[in-house]
Amino acid sequence: MATTSSTSASSVSQGGSLAAVPQPTEAQQRVLERIAAQRDRLHARRTARMQAMALARHEQGLGGTDESLALRAAAFAREHPLAVAAMAAVAVVAGPRRLIRWAGVALPLLMRLRR
Strands (E), the chain: none
- Give the model confidence (pLDDT) of 71-80 as tens digits: 888 888 999 9
Q: How far is CA 14 from the centre of its chain?
A: 52
Which pLDDT band, with edges at 50, 70 and 90, does 10 fall under?
very low
Which pLDDT band, with edges at 50, 70 and 90, does 66 fall under?
low
Higher-confidence residue of 66 and 68: namely: 68
Q: What is the pTM of this model?
A: 0.37
- Residue 112 is predicted with a pLDDT of 85
Q: Beta-carbon neighbour count of residue 72 at 10 Å?
A: 14
